[in-house]
């Protein structure tokens, strides 16, 4: 058998376009070819289960082999193989996705959606790194003849009788001069780790290794023997494919370590598992946050049927949850579309709100079941919760019950609890609640103490997100204003009736005040005595807020 023909495409030569288009990401050729090989093994399994293939299935496996000397990379599988006619149809007719047809045909089959491969360019991505590509294949069909296809990157191909004697396919890439980086074993290992680590069929990347043998050869050098090593690089059943009730905490922690070997243990996690109205599985972890949280973004990995796609999950995961870690796997996220299309996609929107809801529910549950443990985690999760509270209305609706406020005495309150606590003392004449906060407890210490002495509570709002949090609270809370503690704010509040009495008599106070006033001798400063006990600051010297600003302005202007 021999046949020559022309690949039917509308563009004169699509390869330069493919190369140019995908150049920056040319390592994905391996993802595509390995995915196709995995698909082929899934398909034969499917055919066997439908009774359409009665042969021996054998141990289904994919193998990647590197031959640096001959500059080839071969991807082999023992999947369903192809006949010459199928090659013409599925390979030659570019943009005709065999997977689509297969899906059509086996629509009713339960796990037909295990078939990866709606990635678009697929097979042809091989030409990003290879001058010439060969296919050697034998179809599972009775009496099929082995077929061999070769194409040198032009639009012409050649089909001859092949040499394969067992069911399956070898794809042989003759790596081009610009892509010799891929002839490096470690480079290939890294790509496989990135994309293929959790594929559902064992992937062998393994070379025959040279091992030292006892004895010496004629020249007195150590002897070597070639040992077949079983280098399976992937884990075929990663935890997100399992049901949560089969899993223990250790399993989640071990998986986390596997994903992020250098990270501390996570605080807790959420197992995502939904199949209607979209299909999504995954595990999201709440990491211990370091101060450099900006640095830790993009830790969520997106998979589609266990093939790694990207760690750029913006638009799929709500912005405020971008600091989470973990994996999400969904065949329902369109992969080859523009950002704006992705944002508008209805599945993506649903996935986004599903994730938000799961995270909110998990936090609510933690809060309810073990308040103490939740509070202990607050330093690490406060940022997520506040960020979500600010940026996502649906999240806000739930988070308003478990967002925590801390005061300078390190006590913790929910919004409702805090309102109850201060309502009596911090409501002004018009019935407006006034919450006092500090954004710099060290610098504002004198004001804080002064406010506390007057019986007012001061909230701690000193993290970077708190500026926004404060103004958001002001918008959301009914008849409540938030004021930063300063010289004036405590003064303007109604003095609490039952504030503890001074330890100094009025007379003593007056004479101490006179001493301070005359020592300072500046009208801009105000001296107050309100010490309640011997170990507190007896005297507060403050500058009126207005005077302070004037002074700052004068200083900036160069003198007054």
**Which residues in this chain contact ligand ADP in the complex, by CB under 6 A?**
32, 36-37, 40, 77, 79-80, 82, 90-91, 97-99, 117-119, 122-123, 169
Residue 91 touches which of Mg ion, ligand ADP, none (Cβ within 5-8 Å per kind): ligand ADP
* Contact in structure between 485 and 447 (CB atoms under 8 Å): yes
* Contact in structure between 517 and 529 (CB atoms under 8 Å): no
Instruction: Give bridge partners of residue 286 from the DSSP assignment.
Output: 268
Residue 200 touches which of Mg ion, ligand ADP, none (Cβ within 5-8 Å per kind): none
Q: Between residues 36 and 407, which has the closer beta carbon with respect to Mg ion? A: 36
Residue 34 touches which of Mg ion, ligand ADP, none (Cβ within 5-8 Å per kind): none
* 371-391 and 346-369 helices, crossing angle to 10°: 150
Residue 118 touches which of Mg ion, ligand ADP, none (Cβ within 5-8 Å per kind): ligand ADP
* Contact in structure between 194 and 311 (CB atoms under 8 Å): no
HSE-up of 470 (CA within 13 Å, CB side)? 22
Residue 146 touches which of ligand ADP, Mg ion, none (Cβ within 5-8 Å per kind): none
- How would you class 323 by CB atoms within 10 Å of its CB: exposed for 0-12, middle for 13-18, buried for 19 or more? buried
Long-range contacts of 306-309 (CB under 8 A, 24+ apart): 306/116, 306/198, 306/199, 306/200, 306/238, 306/241, 307/31, 307/35, 307/38, 307/116, 307/195, 307/196, 307/199, 308/31, 308/194, 308/195, 308/196, 308/197, 308/198, 309/335
Residue 18 touches which of Mg ion, ligand ADP, none (Cβ within 5-8 Å per kind): none
Nearest alpha carbon to residue 183 among 20, 70, 29, 26 = 70
Q: Between residues 28 and 355, which has the closer beta carbon with respect to Mg ion? A: 28
HSE-up of 13 (CA within 13 Å, CB side)? 12
**E strand intervals along 379-505:** 404-406, 412-414, 433-438, 458-460, 480-484
Integer-rounded Cα radius of gyration of the chain: 34
Q: Between residues 61 and 304, which has the closer beta carbon with respect to Mg ion? A: 304
Q: Between residues 90 and 374, which has the closer beta carbon with respect to ligand ADP? A: 90
Minimum CB separation from ligand ADP for residue 90, in Å? 4
Minimum CB separation from Mg ion for residue 121, in Å? 8
Residue 114 touches which of ligand ADP, Mg ion, none (Cβ within 5-8 Å per kind): none
Minimum CB separation from ligand ADP for residue 29, in Å? 10
* Contact in structure between 528 and 485 (CB atoms under 8 Å): no
Minimum CB separation from ligand ADP for residue 389, in Å? 42
Minimum CB separation from Mg ion for residue 119, in Å? 6
Residue 82 touches which of ligand ADP, Mg ion, none (Cβ within 5-8 Å per kind): ligand ADP
Residues that bind Mg ion (CB under 5 A): 36, 117, 122
What SS3 state is found at 282? strand
CA–CA distance, 322 with 345 (Å, rounded to integer): 19
Q: Between residues 32 and 425, which has the closer beta carbon with respect to ligand ADP? A: 32
Residue with tokens 């010289």: 487
By beta carbon distance, the residue nearest Mg ion is 122
Strands 280-286 and 325-329: antiparallel
Q: Between residues 173 and 405, which has the closer beta carbon with respect to Mg ion? A: 173
Minimum CB separation from ligand ADP for residue 105, in Å? 12
Q: Between residues 124 and 285, which has the closer beta carbon with respect to Mg ion? A: 124
Give the helix ranges, DSSP H, for 403-464: 415-423, 445-453
Minimum CB separation from ligand ADP for residue 464, in Å? 45
Q: Between residues 170 and 329, which has the closer beta carbon with respect to ligand ADP? A: 170
Residue 37 touches which of Mg ion, ligand ADP, none (Cβ within 5-8 Å per kind): ligand ADP
Residue with tokens 């990491």: 287
By beta carbon distance, the residue nearest ligand ADP is 122
Minimum CB separation from ligand ADP for residue 283, in Å? 27
Residue 169 touches which of Mg ion, ligand ADP, none (Cβ within 5-8 Å per kind): ligand ADP
CA angle 520–526–560, rounded 5-degree value: 65
Q: Between residues 122 and 282, which has the closer beta carbon with respect to Mg ion? A: 122
Q: Between residues 123 and 256, which has the closer beta carbon with respect to ligand ADP? A: 123
Minimum CB separation from Mg ion for residue 32, in Å? 5
Minimum CB separation from ligand ADP for residue 9, in Å? 12
CA–CA distance, 109 with 381 (Å, rounded to integer): 43
């Amino acid at each position: 058998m021999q046949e020559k023909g022309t690949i039917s495409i509308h563009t004169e030569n699509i390869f330069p376009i493919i190369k140019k288009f995908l150049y920056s990401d040319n390592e994905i050729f391996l993802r595509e070819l390995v995915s196709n090989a995995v698909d082929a093994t899934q398909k034969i399994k499917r055919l066997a289960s439908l009774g359409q293939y009665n042969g021996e299935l054998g141990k289904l496996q994919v193998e990647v082999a590197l031959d640096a000397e001959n500059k080839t990379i071969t991807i082999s599988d023992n999947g369903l193989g192809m006949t010459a006619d199928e090659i013409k149809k599925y390979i030659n007719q570019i943009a005709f996705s065999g997977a689509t047809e297969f899906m059509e045909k086996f629509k009713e089959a339960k796990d037909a959606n295990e078939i990866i491969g709606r990635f678009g360019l697929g097979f042809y991505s091989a030409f990003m790194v290879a001058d010439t590509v060969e296919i050697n294949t034998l179809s599972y069909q009775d009496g099929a003849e082995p077929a061999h296809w070769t194409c040198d990157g032009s639009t012409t191909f050649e089909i001859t009788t092949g040499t394969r004697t067992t069911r399956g396919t070898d794809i042989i890439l003759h790596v081009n001069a610009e892509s010799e980086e891929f002839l490096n074993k470690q480079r290939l290992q890294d790509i496989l780790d990135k994309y293929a680590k959790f594929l559902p069929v064992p992937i062998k990347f393994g070379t025959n290794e040279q091992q030292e043998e006892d004895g010496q050869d004629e020249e007195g050098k150590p002897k070597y023997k070639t040992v077949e090593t079983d280098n399976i690089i992937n884990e075929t059943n990663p935890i997100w494919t399992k049901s949560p009730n089969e899993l223990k905490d250790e399993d989640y922690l071990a998986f986390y370590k596997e994903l992020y070997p250098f990270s501390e243990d996570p605080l807790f996690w959420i197992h995502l598992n939904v199949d209607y109205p979209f299909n999504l599985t995954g595990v999201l972890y709440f990491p211990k946050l370091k101060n450099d949280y900006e640095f830790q973004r993009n830790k969520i990995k997106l998979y589609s049927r266990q093939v790694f796609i990207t760690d750029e999950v913006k638009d799929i995961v709500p912005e405020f949850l971008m600091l989470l870690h973990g994996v999400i796997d969904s065949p329902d996220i369109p992969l080859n579309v523009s950002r704006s299309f992705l944002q508008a996609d209805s599945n993506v929107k649903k996935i986004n709100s599903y994730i938000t809801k799961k995270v909110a529910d998990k936090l609510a549950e933690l809060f309810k079941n073990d308040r103490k443990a939740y509070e202990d985690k607050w330093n690490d999760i406060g940022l997520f919760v506040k960020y979500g509270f600010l940026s996502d209305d649906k999240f806000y609706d739930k988070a308003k019950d478990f967002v925590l406020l801390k005061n300078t005495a390190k006590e913790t309150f929910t919004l409702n609890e805090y309102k109850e606590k201060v309502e009596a003392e911090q409501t002004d004449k018009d019935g407006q609640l006034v919450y006092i906060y500090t954004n710099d407890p060290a610098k504002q210490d004198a004001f804080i103490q002064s406010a506390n002495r007057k019986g007012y509570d001061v909230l701690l709002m000193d993290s970077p997100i708190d500026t926004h949090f404060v103004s958001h609270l002001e918008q959301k809370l009914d008849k409540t204003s938030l004021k930063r503690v300063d010289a004036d704010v405590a003064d303007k509040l109604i003095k609490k009736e039952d504030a503890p009495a001074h330890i100094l008599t009025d007379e003593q106070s007056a004479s101490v005040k006179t001493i301070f006033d005359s020592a300072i001798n500046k009208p801009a400063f105000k001296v107050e005595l309100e010490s309640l006990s011997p170990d507190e600051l007896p005297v507060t010297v403050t500058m009126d807020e207005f005077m302070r600003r004037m002074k700052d302005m004068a200083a900036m202007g160069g003198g007054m």
